[in-house]
Structure 1
């Protein structure tokens, strides 16, 4: 009943508002100011490492503003990504992973094919990829390989988040949210000029906690999905001259959570949705400290950018091995990683004829992972420790030349070298001890070319060819010998055509793109025939491709009314991959790549009246997806309906919201145990809440 009432309330606010908007639009049709309010203004982006309009980027790019994020009642990155065509966040206790155009990494990989950056600072690990939003200005998503500008681990695309920076204006905001499952979000930010035109300071703080929607009936615990996160940020900005902008930042976060999501859906231990029967308390912790510095110099002849970052990151978990009430054993992991990166870019100022960018990058990484499986009976317990150090260096450049007034040619090249050394010790049972090590070196050349043509002032066509790669690495999770300890890089080449258009005096934007991605040396997980239970090896045994289209629409037909829509389709399949089990070959040719829906879509309508009332409804859908290489585990298509209604005054606002209002059931993960029984992780059920904020 509550979801029906909420749905009716949202429509009741939205529909009369649209009728009123139509009446007011007619009355003010001769008003220049009113007509300008209908225009969809050009969006400026920086994900290409230059400041330019999104329409001038010869690639499929989506942007989401801070206002749009708030209208979605989105608190985490995944809630925004899922509205964008051919973008999906794989949410699982084994690690979150951003997936673009059907390209995913294997389930327990620490790295993904999509680069995530916040204010130019990298967030490289899967465990970092569903971050909590905190005072965001905008989000940008570049689809397709971005190897020339970003290098490794951007073979499917890049997500760039830009946060608000302090300036001469004093701003302060506090907010509070309360929702289902005792979910609370509290936070605030303050930004102030300490010395006008010279020194500015900004501080953000956020606390998020929830009991979660999972229950452990064996322990009579309704907090099996508990999450408690605290994070903060301080940013100091110094502008001694009009050309120099220097920023020092410090980000810190701490998370304690329960990860009791994986439950049996079939077999003797099967439970109902949102319920587990486990004798253990599955839990995880996460800590991150990230100081960083960004220097920008904008002179008449050259622009310089320097980005320096260091991160001390720790993650660990304890998890029930068998996911039942019987004591069989548990697994635990402790990861300690330190990253340092330095990038320097030099670029020409904007020029109508020729622009260029040159850059150099250096990165150092030190990782230690302890992975243990403690068993009460046979097979024997296994204790492993993996140490790996990596250094990588790159030089890159990109230039755009305007051949004619409306025709632009862009070309770029990156050369990247990496050297890594990894070693692993493995103890099985009481006596068996193994140690092995491997040095990995690679050098990658990553070219790109694009051509962009302004067909008219309202239509831009482009074509591009680009390359990317997902770095090789070490199998910390299940290696049992040198042969299963390492794997090599994966490579992609992207071919893309697109149109960017605006219609009806910039009241409608419509962008469409089509792509084909050739995937070589695909990193895949295979059962090791010489290993024991749960021993997997990761190889580069497969080739694959992905083909698809994206469509994005945004319209402002009436004052205060905005309509949005998006559709993505990707067909990502294996071309060649054969394994031999018990002497019998098996081919995966034609099988879909896992972890990504073949189709996703979004339709949204929002209205804001000049008296402060507002409303927003969104329909977010996903098509068929598979969770395993054999395509035996799947999730059929589903759709979620969300809504938000409220009132905004000059200095405060309040909103009621609902997510998955019609309580559609779906899962985000499926796996099989050795007996063939299926375990799943349930997607979030319906939830409702209220949000309030004050601005000073």
Structure 2
């Protein structure tokens, strides 16, 4: 019988699995020589994920700092193979990050966990993407929030699959560990993931009466209060664990009203958001109307654990209310941040494709009715047809151009809506917010049928809604507002067993997922130019309502096993069959007009087989060598952004990955050093990306009769690539008090073929065979160290410092555009923690981005289309203090 024993691995290392289905929630259909090279590289650039010390302290419901009496490193238990296995015996590349590491690195949400893992990046989506986790592993990931696309990196919370990229910026509350699994996960985990999986495991109830309360305060008025308690309900049979957190901070970008800050060039632009609508000087707060990047998040989780003689059941309920501000997006400083001219290059990159005086969207906006309504100085030659830019600009136009960019990466003039406009129909507000309201319930049930057979059931339902906007600029040239809603039901069953005297471990099971999605909102792009041929530009005014509905039904079955041939060699293999159907229906309505596009698109159905196999050699008790082959895919779908009725027939097919990995895992020097390394080569086919027709034509079948313009871009399969690289992780405890960790990752992405629609004109400013993969640095190196100082009767002091370096990141595939590139940079964090002698009190002071590095987590250059370039600026240096009481 499993008891609630404090500190036992049964409750802190075990993964809760499943439960009988909740009645009434949803009806489910069911389907009953590299090692030597890596070692040399690792000693040159050591690497690793940190983990808690051996001989952990008595469990008080949460991780305490490691004691100083242990001599080596602790065992790390992961569940990547459907059962609990030591990380060192798992033939795949995994980083495990526990709660103490997360605390020492001052991490509050899952995005920042990427600091600890090689070849992994996570960023929160910028303007127009909301609370989307843009996760990439080994160069494969998904940027877009649209429900038309599937996550290429899978997220799981207690083995429950999270089916969308939106809403996956999870706050980390009372967790046990995070496992980051690199490479295709086509046979393992709940649903196939082509890039990898990030699995979050919460601490389970123990019924030991433990708990804690913690308060933090820091820069930008950041404060967080959180707590947990774990109590017995019925003896050692039923236990309850409750946790909650409230996390609030101001944004690090000041939002100013442009008309207030620049009255001489603002025309009739309103002083929206000010305490008064007065003249120069604005309100009592000057011209500041708010901030960008601020957060306001409440999250809670409750778990009821019931156990019997041979079964264990965990019921979990969670709720999150996130009322954050829009992302910290600002115009890029410098002369290229805002432009009235089009900079489109010729295919050879030698010069502009159009005359330098060709106006872009900003010029079109100000020179047309919109600019006249706002009383702004036009940069266009009066009466010229086609529209021609003044050369040189008039003093008034030049002054306006100079004023539009505040030249400060921590200041924005974003207008958030169109408060004026040629007609009342064109006026709307686009709130400064990025919200999620989410709740879910899950039931993880585990039954020991006998000593060699175990049944697991994982049942879950989740619902969320969210709203977010897009506003980058002082003028309403491009505004968008989105509301999203999502429901999902999932059920997974597994039957685990052992046979042949424990040499064979096997799993058979099935997975079912049913989702329902709604994406509604309004998009207004008040004039941008499209190069549609030698004749020049076409002003394309877009102002429409959107209401798209979609869904996914996934039914899959899988089998997995690992077999020990002898004391040294073993083999592991798995196979998954997937049947998936996707539906999508569109609604488009130009403001003030009847619906222009309404109806269902063709359904997309895919059937896929995905195998995995590895050959492993345990050459000594502390050294494992392995060679693995794994596969994965991302389902196809429907183009999510059509303009005309013919566009609904535009679909894209699945993309697929085959990965080959050679790895090495070892423990050395009397369990004081853990060193793991792997090299990989991935064949990445039918990559899903944007395609376009050539500049003199349209996508076939999309042009409305007698009405230009036509659709010139859509989503499709763009070609093939190979991805190769390596990663190495090192963790060392030379003496019991000193812990050192480091990691290095290298990813080389190379296109091999491109579909004709990727770059029909051979433009070097577009994707070519030499283009980089976006969001993916070639190099990522992390290092951290901490030392446990014994203060005798005064307790203990633990200073910690860590640094993460990543090389240059491209945010577009262009090799000749210098704007959307983030040069390599290093982020340094530090923390010092005092523990009372009884370890019941804990006081810490911390700093993040200690060197105050200016960096961007995303850069977008839309000067040709809209007239400006902007980026999402990373968090500046912050300081804070923390007080924690454990009981």
TM score, norm. by length of structure 2: 0.72
8 Å Cα contact 1:463-1:496 kept in structure 2:
yes
Pair 1:472 & 2:511 matched? no
8 Å Cα contact 1:672-1:679 kept in structure 2:
yes
Q: CA deviation at 1:196?
A: 1.8
Q: Could you tell me how far apart the structure 2 residues matched to 1:120 and 1:385 are?
A: 32
Corresponding residue for 1:64?
97
Q: Could you tell me how far apart the structure 1 residues matched to 2:829 and 2:197 are?
A: 27
* Higher RCO (CA-CA < 8 Å; seq separation 6+): 2
Change (3 A) 1:484 1:331: farther
State the secondary structure of the residue aligned to 1:67. helix
Corresponding residue for 1:27?
none
Change (3 A) 1:535 1:221: farther
8 Å Cα contact 2:163-2:488 kept in structure 1:
no
8 Å Cα contact 2:252-2:328 kept in structure 1:
no
The farther-off stretch of 652-661 and 272-281 is 272-281
Change (3 A) 1:593 1:389: same
1:683 to 866, 869, 874: 874
Corresponding residue for 2:783?
603
Unaligned runs of 5+ in 2: 1-65, 258-286, 339-400, 417-430, 528-539, 704-708
Q: CA deviation at 1:224?
A: 2.1
The number of residues matched between the two structures is 661
Please list the CA deviations of residues 148-204 of structure 1 after superposition, one character each: whole Å capped at 9, or x if unmatched.
Answer: 023655111111111111113111111111111111111111111111221000111
Q: Could you tell me how far apart the structure 2 residues matched to 1:255 and 1:279 are?
A: 23
Corresponding residue for 2:451?
300
Change (3 A) 1:169 1:536: farther
Change (3 A) 1:326 1:249: same
Pair 1:637 & 2:833 matched? no
Q: Could you tell me how far apart the structure 2 residues matched to 1:314 and 1:35 are?
A: 47
1:276 to 408, 412, 415: 412
* Larger gyration radius, structure 1 or structure 2: 2
Change (3 A) 1:203 1:397: same
Q: Could you tell me how far apart the structure 2 residues matched to 1:260 and 1:169 are?
A: 41
1:388 to 540, 543, 550: 550
Please list the CA deviations of residues 296-328 of structure 1 after superposition, one character each: whole Å capped at 9, or x if unmatched.
Answer: 1123131111000101111211332xx222234
State the secondary structure of the residue aligned to 1:221. strand
Please list the CA deviations of residues 9-68 of structure 1 after superposition, one character each: whole Å capped at 9, or x if unmatched.
Answer: xxxxxxxxxxxxxxxxxxxxxxxx999712112211113321111111110111111111
Change (3 A) 1:522 1:582: closer
Q: CA deviation at 1:217?
A: 1.8
Change (3 A) 1:401 1:48: closer
Q: Could you tell me how far apart the structure 2 residues matched to 1:257 and 1:534 are?
A: 35
Q: Could you tell me how far apart the structure 1 residues matched to 2:526 and 2:409 are?
A: 29
Pair 1:397 & 2:559 matched? yes
State the secondary structure of the residue aligned to 2:308. coil
Change (3 A) 1:521 1:621: same
Pair 1:237 & 2:388 matched? no
Q: CA deviation at 1:80?
A: 1.8
Please list the CA deviations of residues 411-459 of structure 1 after superposition, one character each: whole Å capped at 9, or x if unmatched.
Answer: 1100010122211122235246123421111001000100110111221
Q: Could you tell me how far apart the structure 1 residues matched to 2:757 and 2:641 are?
A: 22
1:334 to 439, 458, 483: 483
Pair 1:319 & 2:470 matched? yes
1:170-209 alignment, distance < 5 Å:
170-209=209-248
Pair 1:372 & 2:522 matched? yes
The farther-off stretch of 389-398 and 546-555 is 389-398
State the secondary structure of the residue aligned to 1:438. coil
Corresponding residue for 1:164?
203
Q: Could you tell me how far apart the structure 2 residues matched to 1:411 and 1:578 are?
A: 34
8 Å Cα contact 2:639-2:648 kept in structure 1:
no
Unaligned runs of 5+ in 1: 1-32
1:553 to 730, 738, 756: 730
Q: Could you tell me how far apart the structure 1 residues matched to 2:192 and 2:222 are?
A: 34
Please list the CA deviations of residues 183-230 of structure 1 after superposition, one character each: whole Å capped at 9, or x if unmatched.
Answer: 111111111111122100011111011112111122513422221111
Q: CA deviation at 1:559?
A: 1.9
Pair 1:510 & 2:549 matched? no
Change (3 A) 1:352 1:561: same
TM score, norm. by length of structure 1: 0.91
Corresponding residue for 2:598?
435
Pair 1:409 & 2:571 matched? yes
Change (3 A) 1:120 1:535: farther
Q: CA deviation at 1:485?
A: 4.8
8 Å Cα contact 1:152-1:470 kept in structure 2:
no
Q: CA RMSD in A?
A: 2.2
Corresponding residue for 1:671?
860
Corresponding residue for 2:135?
98
State the secondary structure of the residue aligned to 1:512. strand
Corresponding residue for 1:115?
154
Change (3 A) 1:479 1:560: farther
The farther-off stretch of 571-580 and 306-315 is 571-580
State the secondary structure of the residue aligned to 2:100. helix
The farther-off stretch of 186-195 and 257-266 is 257-266
8 Å Cα contact 1:594-1:628 kept in structure 2:
yes
Change (3 A) 1:534 1:332: farther
Q: CA deviation at 1:140?
A: 0.9
2:495 to 346, 353, 357: 346
8 Å Cα contact 1:152-1:471 kept in structure 2:
no
8 Å Cα contact 1:106-1:524 kept in structure 2:
no
Q: Could you tell me how far apart the structure 1 residues matched to 2:681 and 2:776 are?
A: 16
1:514-529 alignment, distance < 5 Å:
514-527=679-692, 529=698
Q: Could you tell me how far apart the structure 2 residues matched to 1:188 and 1:533 are?
A: 56
Please list the CA deviations of residues 328-360 of structure 1 after superposition, one character each: whole Å capped at 9, or x if unmatched.
Answer: 462111111110000000001485411100111
8 Å Cα contact 1:283-1:319 kept in structure 2:
no
8 Å Cα contact 1:303-1:347 kept in structure 2:
yes
Q: Could you tell me how far apart the structure 2 residues matched to 1:235 and 1:630 are?
A: 49
Change (3 A) 1:453 1:583: closer
Please list the CA deviations of residues 606-654 of structure 1 after superposition, one character each: whole Å capped at 9, or x if unmatched.
Answer: 1122331111000111111111122432111100111001201121101
State the secondary structure of the residue aligned to 2:166. helix
State the secondary structure of the residue aligned to 1:558. coil
State the secondary structure of the residue aligned to 2:687. strand
Q: Could you tell me how far apart the structure 2 residues matched to 1:346 and 1:46 are?
A: 15
Q: CA deviation at 1:581?
A: 8.6
Change (3 A) 1:57 1:572: same
Q: Could you tell me how far apart the structure 1 residues matched to 2:520 and 2:95 are?
A: 39
8 Å Cα contact 1:98-1:129 kept in structure 2:
no
1:538-577 alignment, distance < 5 Å:
538-577=715-754
More strand by share: 1
8 Å Cα contact 1:103-1:572 kept in structure 2:
no
The farther-off stretch of 346-355 and 111-120 is 346-355
